[in-house]
Amino acid sequence: ETDLDVAMRQSQAEIDRLTVMADDARVAQVAFKTQIQEWKNTLLRGYVAADYAAYHGAFLARREEVDRRLEQLKAAAGALGFPVDGIADLRTRHDALDAAYDEAIKLYRPEDPLSVRAVDTHVRGKDRPLNEAFDKLVAQAKSYAEERRDALRENDLAMSRGIQQTLWISMAIGFAFLFLVAFMALRAIRK
**Measured at the alpha carbon of residue 90, what is the angle toward residues 61 and 33, in degrees to the nearest 5?**
45
Q: Is 72 exposed, middle or buried (0-12, 13-18, 19+ CB in 10 A)?
A: middle
Q: What are phi and psi of 44, to 5 degrees?
A: -80, -35
pLDDT at 90: 95
Q: Render pLDDT for 50-64 as a digit per residue (tens, 0 to 9).
A: 999 999 999 999 999
41 contacts 55 by C-beta, under 8 angstroms: yes
* pLDDT value of residue 69: 95
166 vs 8, 158, 176, CA distance in Å?
A: 18, 12, 15
- pTM recorded for the entire structure: 0.78
Residue 81 gets which letter from DSSP? T
CB 29 within 8 A of CB 139: no
Q: Amino acid identity, residue 155?
A: N
Q: Do the beta carbons of residue 100 and residue 122 sit within 8 Å?
A: yes
Rounded to 5 degrees, what angle do the CA atoms 36, 84, 79 make? Answer: 115
Q: Name the stretches of the chain with pLDDT < 70.
A: none
pLDDT of residue 39: 96
